Structure 1
Amino acid sequence: MLSGSCYCGAVQFEVDDAFSYAFYCHCSRCRRRTGAACAAIGGIEIDKVRVTAGSELLLRLGESENGYRCLCKQCCSPLYDVVRGQAFAHVQLGALDGVPAKRPDHHIHVASMAAWHQITDSYPRFDEFPP
């Protein structure tokens, strides 16, 4: 079990340490959302993510049948996105307190990565999504 929280600590959650996949996303949306060159994301079934404190402060943005984003209303920290028809969560690995067993092992959306960033590992790279 891994615990996580937002920057101010008002919203806390736990997630099973059973990520199905993990990756680095270099798309322009993730850069703007995180303020970093890329986002480190772990994918897991939605029922394995539980908000343990501050659920009244969990902000859901862009709700649709496909999913939505979850942030803290107080500090605006991104926590996770509900995706793939609301069946999976894409957890921001930077919001976790511990180290997940499954770590990012590929890069996506490298065709739109920041011109000032350089990938220095040998993980597989995909211009958009993996096949």
Structure 2
Amino acid sequence: MTGSEISNARILIGECYCRAVRFEVADEFSYAMNCHCSNCRRTTGSAFKPFAGIVRHKLRIVRGGDQRTVFGDDITHDVHCARCGSLLYSHVREGKWAHVAMGALIDAPSIRPSAHIFVGSKAPWHEITDDLPQYRG
């Protein structure tokens, strides 16, 4: 992401728990959802993962690039801090998109989750209490 690509966009800052890794992302997310799949639950240690999707080139690591651990293949994978384990983002959709873990953002994005996905495998102890649409897969 270069300065010219983000000049008109509000920039959000995100970082891991130990603050070793910091990233910038344009506040131009295309979608946001709460994922209840078992992989997202294991990755976050929570009932679901709120994430926001954006084209990959609009996310940039500004500190701690060498402190990242990648789980997955060269195209699609999850990126965590190697020191504290925080999930930061995932590369998805043939590696062209990033799903930013909304909990890693310091700044509030303008987008909010619009649906719950993979509720067919949600944690049995968690009850969804909002009115957002729910999709089994």
Q: Sort the TM-score into its range (normalised by shorter chain).
A: over 0.9
Residue in structure 2 matching 1:35, options 45, 50, 53: 45
Q: Does 1:97 align with 2:106?
A: yes
Question: After the TM superposition, which residues 65-84 of structure 1 pair with which residues of structure 2 at under 5 Å, given as runs?
Answer: 65=75, 67-84=76-93
Question: How far apart, in 2, do the equivalents of 1:85 and 1:51 lie?
Answer: 20
Residue in structure 2 matching 1:14, options 3, 9, 24: 24
- DSSP 3-state at the match of 1:98: coil
Q: Does 1:116 align with 2:132?
A: no
* Contact 1:30/1:38 (8 A) holds in 2: yes
* Contact 1:2/1:100 (8 A) holds in 2: yes
Question: How far apart, in 1, do the equivalents of 2:99 and 2:14 lie?
Answer: 13
Q: Deviations over 1:59-103 (max 9, x none)?
A: 1221243x1111111111110000111100000000000111111
Other-structure match for 1:45: 55
Percentage of identical aligned residues = 46
**Structure 1 unaligned spans of 5+:** none
* Contact 1:12/1:53 (8 A) holds in 2: yes
- DSSP 3-state at the match of 1:90: strand
Residue in structure 2 matching 1:57, options 67, 83, 95: 67
Q: Does 1:5 align with 2:15?
A: yes
Letter in 1 for 2:133: P
- Compute the RMSD of aligned alpha carbons: 0.8
Number of aligned positions between the proteins: 127
- DSSP 3-state at the match of 2:95: coil
Question: How far apart, in 1, do the equivalents of 2:77 and 2:35 lie?
Answer: 17
Question: How far apart, in 1, do the equivalents of 2:39 and 2:69 lie?
Answer: 18
Letter in 2 for 1:101: S
- The TM-score normalised by the length of structure 2 is 0.90
- DSSP 3-state at the match of 1:120: coil
**Structure 2 unaligned spans of 5+:** 1-10
